[in-house]
Structure 1
Amino acid sequence: METQELIIVDLFCQEYQIESNFIHDLEAFGLIKIIVVQEQKYLDKNQLATIEKIIRLHNDLNINKEGIDIILSLQEKENQLLEEIKYLRNRLGLYE
């Protein structure tokens, strides 16, 4: 993976005004993945939207890591169900 697609954890924390321990706690809990390249810790840019959502849930709504995990799981399940509904509607359309 190229480092162009990565964000340095310390710089991310400075920009978002959060403690680096929070990011490490999220990784330990399994909510995000930290990538280590030559002893430098990075976040994948593809995780950025999820991490921002987690920060908002935690800071704005005071939701703990367990609650965030449940919310993210439910959102993923909702997306899967919506995809299944879309697929089934398309299949049903073939018979109409």
Structure 2
Amino acid sequence: MEAQELIIVDVFCQECQIDISLIWELEEFGLLQTIKHEEVSYLDKNQIITVEKIIRLHTDLNINKEGIEVILDLLEKINQLNTDIKTLKDRLNLYE
């Protein structure tokens, strides 16, 4: 099992200059997950890009949590479709 690289939620919030309550709201809504160990909450380093994207959507564009959920779902679907298109193009190139 690989060791996870974790970032303390309090430190992340200080660096991003956001209120920690936003992280708890986003977690409660299901948009992100924190890891709790010995009364300290952490974010997995692998989800930081997504968390930063969520924060930008919420704070800069004033998009509510429901809207963010839809946007993230659509972005995931777009990425999957792009992957499918690349796979199909690669398969077509075999026949050319």
Task: Report the CA distance between 1:82 and its aligned residue.
Answer: 0.2
- Which aligned pairs between 1:32-47 and structure 2 lie closer than 5 A? 32-47=32-47
Q: What residue in structure 2 maps to residue 69 of structure 1?
A: 69
**Structure 1: how far apart are the matches of 2:42 and 2:35?**
5
**Structure 1: how far apart are the matches of 2:87 and 2:3?**
35
Q: What residue in structure 2 maps to residue 93 of structure 1?
A: 93
Task: Report the CA distance between 1:28 and its aligned residue.
Answer: 1.1
**Structure 2: how far apart are the matches of 1:16 and 1:88?**
40
**Structure 1: how far apart are the matches of 2:13 and 2:89?**
44
**Deviations for 1:31-87, whole angstroms, at most 9, x for unmatched residues?**
111001112100011111111111111111100011011111100000000000000
**Deviations for 1:10-32, whole angstroms, at most 9, x for unmatched residues?**
11111111111110111111111
Question: Secondary structure of 2:63's partner?
Answer: coil
* Letter of the 1:12 counterpart: F
Q: What residue in structure 1 maps to residue 82 of structure 2?
A: 82
Question: Secondary structure of 1:42's partner?
Answer: strand
Q: What residue in structure 2 maps to residue 13 of structure 1?
A: 13
* Letter of the 2:15 counterpart: E
Q: Report % sequence identity.
A: 62
* Letter of the 1:32 counterpart: L
Tell me the number of residue pairs that the alignment of Structure 1 and Structure 2 aligns: 95
* Letter of the 1:22 counterpart: L
**Structure 2: how far apart are the matches of 1:76 and 1:20?**
26
Q: What residue in structure 1 maps to residue 54 of structure 2?
A: 54
Structure 1 unaligned regions, length at least 5? none
